[in-house]
Structure 1
């Protein structure tokens, strides 16, 4: 059969399992030289060893398949350097995230009470007139969206009356959700409803704010109340106000209603 190698031999020569080679074929990353339409036999040529080696080496570095596909299609060292540089940036971001997880997990294990000292109070909050901007975003996009939104809203609002904030759905979702950024202004065209709220004032960096949410959940569990409407975060002190993230102050406000009997 010419210089074709069966998948088993190609697998052993490239140190890539036959199952993985089949997956690469299905994804279009490394297609066999021939596929018998009757038997499904896959045959590879020795000339494909180079592509297989590139794929194996890049996958060992956890480079995404899309990036590897781009490298193989371009066959250009400049493209390879760019793909690897982008992958390095993603890896560094993941490393920072893992270090943060390890730090917070260590604090929880060493002294669980110290991570959730937030006091919850019940308060009546008046309606707020504001300029608002709403967009569907994922959690990892919140910060970028809010930075962009506040720049636009503050330009429209002129004089700001109170801390900026954001509204989120009452139920947490992993996928993109509608998030509303707002800037209070005396003559704002929009109106945030007032009413009865459970309020937790959290001090510290935004990535630790889950402690405030846990405190609110624990407080709500001991009542006959439920969340009604979107929850609110009011950023009392944040970037530009204080030098350290540890000094950030955020009010987390849950709108309340009595449970039906």
Structure 2
């Protein structure tokens, strides 16, 4: 038997942590002296303590650690750990995107964006549209675009695009529409023909991943406030180069069109 101090030195888990794990029924001592209350551990418990230590270093919640340790099936244990690793990777991706955006904002002299005033004529496209929450846009977009691509097939006549109502940004929920240009829009499933109205746009190009597109939106909005008159139409995006065209996110190009009122 090992005293709690000896076990602590062998496992690099503090005495305080071992006591907390005991109280939470996560790692119970092999023996507890009924008279003194002293805790004693066996050498066979060292691997379990090391597993707990590694899981906690990965920020696995105590409840999940307990489920992993109590699951007798190795396959189920592996699946539980893999699921947490996927969540960590997703959080890491979000953190990296936020760091990239913050660094861009903190640049002392960001280069001014290039803006083009463009008159877009009305046109009919194949589209999927829905009212979605801001946090659900990415997942909804992927499903809608896959359905559009399957429905239109080889009849695509231009890059895909989308329109996004102001409520989506202002209230966290609003109408989103994605489309594919095609001479003969089909009607199947959620896919149907939509006529995009003629509009005047202030257009700039966002370079790279879409995670920090909000910075480009802010720069374009600032330009519009200073140089044009904004109107209440939905913002338009055109995906000139995207994941379907290039594996490297640095090559992606998204046009953002801000509706404006042009006098001439």
For Structure 1 versus Structure 2, the TM-score category normalised by the shorter chain is 0.5 to 0.7
- Report deviation, 1:153: 1.3
- Report deviation, 1:102: 2.7
- Report deviation, 1:186: 1.7
- Report deviation, 1:122: 2.1
Q: Which residue of the partner structure matches residue 120 of structure 1? A: 115
Q: Which residue of the partner structure matches residue 160 of structure 1? A: 156
Q: Which residue of the partner structure matches residue 85 of structure 2? A: 88
Q: Which of 121, 142, 145 is matched with 1:150 structurally? A: 145
TM-score normalised per structure 1: 0.65
Gapped regions of structure 2 (runs ≥ 5): 1-15, 29-48, 186-192
SS in 1 for 2:25: helix
Q: Which residue of the partner structure matches residue 252 of structure 2? A: 248
Counterparts of residues 26-41 of structure 1 (less than 5 Å): none
Question: Could you say what the CA RMSD is over the residues aligned between the two structures, in angstroms?
Answer: 3.5
SS in 1 for 2:245: coil
Gapped regions of structure 1 (runs ≥ 5): 1-10, 17-45
Taking the aligned partners of 1:65 and 1:193, their CA distance within structure 2 comes to 55
Q: Which residue of the partner structure matches residue 126 of structure 2? A: 131
Taking the aligned partners of 2:135 and 2:148, their CA distance within structure 1 comes to 21
Taking the aligned partners of 2:174 and 2:67, their CA distance within structure 1 comes to 31
- Report deviation, 1:75: 4.3
Whether 1:191 and 2:166 are equivalent positions in the alignment is: no
Larger mean Cα displacement after TM superposition, 223-232 or 179-188 = 223-232
Whether 1:226 and 2:230 are equivalent positions in the alignment is: yes
Report the count of equivalent residues: 214
Alpha-carbon spacing, 1:129–1:49, altered in 2? closer, same or farther (3 Å): closer
Q: Which residue of the partner structure matches residue 165 of structure 2? A: 169
